[in-house]
Chain A
Amino acid sequence: MTEINKVIQNKIAIDKLNLFYGKFQALISVSMPVQEKMITALIGPSGCGKSTLLRSLNRMNDLIHGVKITGSVLLDEIDIYNSSLEVAELRKRVGMVFQRPNPFPLSIYENVVYGLRVAGIRNKKESDEIAEKSLRGAWLWDQVKDKLDHPALELPLDQQQRLVIARLLAVQPEVILMDEPCSALDPIATMKIEELMIELKKDYTIVIVTHNMQQASRVSDFTGYMLMGEMIEFNQTKNIFTNPSKKLTEDYISGKYG
């Protein structure tokens, strides 16, 4: 683990991260690198802590009462928990896509430029340009270019999910966190999001939590297997799925767990 931490130029370095919800310890001394412009997948059974780990990468857990965190998460070598980095600034740099698409009850266009409005950008020409670029980046432009003023919630689910991704791209994040982004989608829509992820990794660093092991093996470069709050094994995805070094990992990926 430490070796991988050393060799690779990390976008994020998680080191001995412990997280408590009150007395319950949800993450136990988790260490893991997230390599720049790569897709890192977190897998493991329900309740293993993978979503908690994902949420701790942009301080989403801070919102929960009674959470205590020790250890460090370095984003470009700056500790996101012990520095002057503002949470709003952090979440702009590290955006998140959730399980169910969550567009705002606004038009397609207003959804995409929402982050720009918050950042104070009102210039119509600039907003239009960024909206088009973001929608193209999320492979949605051709489908929506003639109905940008339509309500976002009228879009089919997979297009809603891509709209949410476009909304993220508009604020130019560095890291995109995805919490089971395809679990509400059918196989074809899932495939489109997976292809989009591969395209996005040219410019962005992606961390994805997924219950779908084939999805992890299809799209990710690195995979971490978690169990009961611990990082059991972290390695290149091809190693995890062909020759995992831990018996626990092998049991899980080959369906012998539980």
Chain B
Amino acid sequence: MQDNFNQQIENLKINLIKMASLVDEQAEKAFTALETGNVELCRGIKAKELEVNIYDNLIQTQCENILALFQPVAVDLRFIISVMMINNQLERCGDIAVNIAQRVKKTNEHHSLIAETQILEMGKQAREMLKNAIDSFINNNIDLANKVIDSDESVDKFNKQIFKALVLKMQNETQLIEPCAHLIVLTRHIERLADHATNIAENLVFYVNARIIAHKKKFEKWGVSDQTID
């Protein structure tokens, strides 16, 4: 019984890692295309989406079966819950990689504009966050997860700065309105990707430390606790 359960948990983890590597590959291609302007790299990204979606459904089914058949508790239950959440966040990351690739294609002729803003730095950071979030889950590495969570603020800052810079650009050079609009959407996608990476890391912390740390900074800022409503 216990062996069977362990086997199911192991299979689930393997599938999540396979899915994560597909998403990681999508992100890698999208960000390299952004950096190098090599739009050829964007080609395979959309095709991977189907495979990612198959894993998404498979993992959800596996989680449902384990919950129904084994009724896990404590650390095992937290593992299943975090896998369900991470599964969802990875699938979103895959979608965002597709979106980024689309915007890269649309703004390819304006590579100098990209270079002028901090989009590449922001992209690098978000890319690193996703990679580290996945690694932290594979290796149960809480320190790495915390590093991901800490990085989110700086990506948000980049997002605001780039937005301002692009608005200014549009005001001064009206012929650049269209590419600038695409780039605003692009930075928004990058910011969302970083958010999902942060959520993945938060779910690892939930699994390992049994603590829900999502929204912690906001709660601190507002001086409230998540224990307020019980």
Select which of B1, B2, B74 is within 8 A of A242 by beta carbon. Answer: B74
B1 touches A241 (CB 8 A): no
Q: Mark B122-147, 1 if CB is under 8 A from A, else 0.
A: 00000000000000000000000000
Query: Are A254 and B71 in contact (CB-based, < 8 A)?
Result: no
**Bound CA span A54–B21, Å:** 54
Q: Do the beta carbons of B74 and A241 come within 8 Å of each other? A: yes
How far apart are B171's CB and chain A's nearest CB, in angstroms?
Answer: 54
Which residue in chain B gives the minimum CB-CB distance to A243? B210
Asked if A254 and B210 make an inter-chain contact with CB atoms under 8 angstroms apart, the answer reads no
**B224 — which chain A residues lie within 8 A by C-beta?**
none
Cβ A241 vs Cβ B2 within 8 A: no
- B70 CB to closest chain A CB (Å) equals 8
A253 contacts chain B at the CB level, 8 A cutoff: yes
A185 to B177, CA, bound (A): 74
Q: Which residue of B lies closest to A253 (CB)?
A: B73
CA separation between A80 and B1, bound complex, in Å? Answer: 44
Interchain CB contact under 8 A, A242 and B71: no
A156 CB within 8 Å of chain B: no
Give the distance in Å from the alpha carbon of A77 to the alpha carbon of B1 in the complex: 45
Shortest CB distance B226–A (Å):
15
A window 227-258: CB within 8 A of B: 241-244, 250, 253-256
Contact with A along B57-97 (1 / 0, CB 8 A): 00000000000000111111110000000000000000000
A217 at the interface (CB under 8 A from B): yes
A232 to chain B, nearest CB (A): 14
A143 contacts the other chain (Cβ, under 8 Å)? no
How far apart are A227's CB and chain B's nearest CB, in angstroms?
16
CA distance A250 to B74 in the complex (A): 7
Report B-chain residues with C-beta under 8 Å of the C-beta of A213.
73
Give the complex CA separation of A16 and B25 in angstroms. Answer: 60
**Complex: chain A residue closest to B210, CB-CB:** A243
User: In this complex, what residue of B is CB-closest to A255?
Assistant: B2
Q: Which of A242, A243, A255 contacts B5 (CB under 8 A)?
A: A255
Say which residue of B2, B5, B71, B77 sits within 8 Å of A214 (CB atoms): B71
Chain A interfacial positions (CB closer than 8 Å to B): 213-214, 217, 241-244, 250, 253-256
Q: How far does the alpha carbon of A244 sit from the alpha carbon of B77 in the complex, in Å?
A: 12
State the 8 A-B residue pairs at the shortest beta-carbon distance, nearest first.
Answer: A243-B210, A241-B73, A254-B76, A253-B73, A250-B74, A254-B74, A254-B73, A255-B2
A242 close to B210 (CB less than 8 A): yes
List of B residues within 8 angstroms of A217 by Cβ: 73
* Docked CA distance A20–B72 (Å): 36
**What 1/0 mask marks residues of chain B from 1 to 21 whose CB sits below 8 Å from any chain A CB?**
110010000000000000000
Question: A253 touches which one: B2, B5, B74, B78 (CB < 8 A)?
Answer: B74
**Neighbouring B residues of A241 by C-beta, 8 Å:** 73-74
B205-218: CB near A (< 8 Å → 1, else 0) gives 00000100000000
Chain A: CB-nearest residue to B211: A243
For the complex, give the distance between the alpha carbons of A224 and B42 in Å: 58
A147 to B210, CA, bound (A): 54
Min C-beta distance of A190 to chain B, whole Å: 15
Q: How far is the CB of B210 from chain A (nearest CB, A)?
A: 4
Q: Cα distance A198–B73 when bound, in Å?
A: 22
Q: State in angstroms the CA–CA spacing of A256 and B74 once bound together.
A: 12
Q: A242-B210, A243-B210 are in contact. Are A250 and B1 (CB under 8 A)?
A: no
Q: Who on chain A is nearest to B209 by CB?
A: A243
On chain A, the residues within 8 Å of B72 by CB distance are 254
A243 to B210, CA, bound (A): 7
Closest to A213 in B: B73
Q: How many Å lie between the Cα of A242 and that of B81 in the bound state?
A: 12
Q: With a CB–CB cut-off of 8 A, which chain B residues contact A254?
A: 72-76
